[in-house]
């Protein structure tokens, strides 16, 4: 059986948050892998059609670090396909 190629396509959900705390204190640092998977499943279920997989990077990423964040997501997203 011929394997279909998969493509990683970066997408974004643009939003903002308002706080009087420093950014570092505004985003949870104790997000569990299960919670992250749950968020990914919700996004996949409500935004995409069947057969699409989703990986997210829930943090504030400075523009100069965006490419590194994308590479980390791709590594995490495709690692199980290589096993």
pLDDT digits (tens, 9 = 90+) for 25-74: 888 888 888 998 999 999 999 999 998 988 887 766 666 777 787 777 77
Long-range contacts at 19-26 (CB < 8 A, ≥ 24 apart):
23/60
Rounded to whole angstroms, the maximal C-alpha distance in the chain is: 56
Over 70: is that where the pLDDT of 15 sits? Answer: no
Q: Which residue has the tokens 């980390």?
A: 72
Query: Would you list the domain boundaries of the chain?
Result: 23-82
* Confidence (pLDDT) at 63: 66
Q: Are 28 and 48 in contact (CB under 8 A)?
A: no
């Amino acid at each position: 059986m011929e394997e279909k190629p998969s493509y990683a396509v970066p997408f974004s959900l643009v939003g903002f948050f308002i706080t009087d705390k420093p950014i570092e204190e505004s985003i949870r640092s104790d997000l569990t892998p299960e919670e992250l998977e749950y968020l990914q499943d919700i996004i996949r279920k409500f935004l995409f059609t069947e057969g699409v997989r989703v990986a997210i990077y829930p943090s504030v990423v400075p523009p100069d670090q965006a490419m590194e964040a994308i590479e980390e997501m791709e590594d995490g997203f495709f690692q199980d396909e290589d096993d």
